[in-house]
Structure 1
């Protein structure tokens, strides 16, 4: 599911969105999903330039941002990335984020040429089955690099 199209930084004027430092890339993901937890840990390991912060969909900030972009924190398709005030979701967010973190992910960009409907379908297949990978608490005993990136 794609976030609703809004002007850059529109969340700053939304009273439902707690203020936060938006100088970094912010990723909002399910805090109970083992796949999302593994992804967050991978982001923390790859982010050598300290440019990414992570927020759970269940936190006040995560709920506020997802609501602002007409996404639901209870919908497994809700994965949001904010960069320079612009929101991306679904596979589009993953394809935009990971090549920034490591050159080994640059080939992912080829997925960006797929039609939006195909991208969303692929992402939805993974998202809807994410609990097959298990459930975990993203915030439970995180390593120091991940802990430093978590915001609520």
Structure 2
């Protein structure tokens, strides 16, 4: 790997922070890794040291993010905005999903919140952080697993 590639891995510009106990988040992460051919997305769980560090050291509590954040070039995006920006980063036809950004944020976020509220009931929840396979694990920040 070139020095530029090494630097990109040390300081990735697109970091998806996911709920490490959520089966939906786990499966979407595996899906994103499979389709992110240019390896633009990197990951960390919200519960991990990397997740807490990226959020300024704040623990994730009841008032914290529900399931997904995207740190893109130092800016933290949440809810539907984070999902749409992550889809654009994956590339390919997924980039077209970013067009949904024209829908007013309150409407997009209502749909996001509805899924986030029901994700454990619909998809299940692990009692501990799910361990990804090696292909997915290689895309996590060094201390990004809980």
Normalised to the residue count of structure 1, the TM-score between the two structures is 0.74
Cα distance, 1:32–1:22 mapped onto 2, change above 3 Å:
same
Deviations 1:4-62 (A, max 9, x none): xxxxxxxxxxxxxxxx9333411101000000000110111112112221100111221
How big is the alpha-carbon RMSD for the aligned residues of Structure 1 and Structure 2? 2.4
**Match for residue 16 of structure 2 among 1, 17, 27:** 27
Give runs of ≥4 in structure 1 deviating > 6 Å: none
| Structure 2 residue ranges without an equivalent (≥5) | 1-8
C-alpha contact (below 8 Å) 1:82/1:88 kept by paired residues: yes
Matched residue count? 131
Question: Residue 125 of structure 2 corresponds to which residue in structure 1?
Answer: 135
Counting only pairs closer than 5 Å after superposition, residues 95-134 of structure 1 correspond to structure 2 as 95-132=84-121, 133-134=123-124
Question: Residue 69 of structure 2 corresponds to which residue in structure 1?
Answer: 80
CA distance in 2, matches of 1:27, 1:134: 20
CA distance in 2, matches of 1:94, 1:32: 18
C-alpha contact (below 8 Å) 1:30/1:73 kept by paired residues: no
Alignment of 1:54 with 2:43, yes or no, is yes
Alignment of 1:146 with 2:141, yes or no, is no
**Match for residue 44 of structure 1 among 26, 33, 45:** 33
| Structure 1 residue ranges without an equivalent (≥5) | 1-19
C-alpha contact (below 8 Å) 1:57/1:73 kept by paired residues: no
C-alpha contact (below 8 Å) 2:13/2:74 kept by paired residues: no
CA distance in 2, matches of 1:43, 1:54: 10
By how many angstroms is 1:81 displaced?
Answer: 0.7
CA distance in 2, matches of 1:70, 1:115: 29
CA distance in 2, matches of 1:69, 1:114: 32
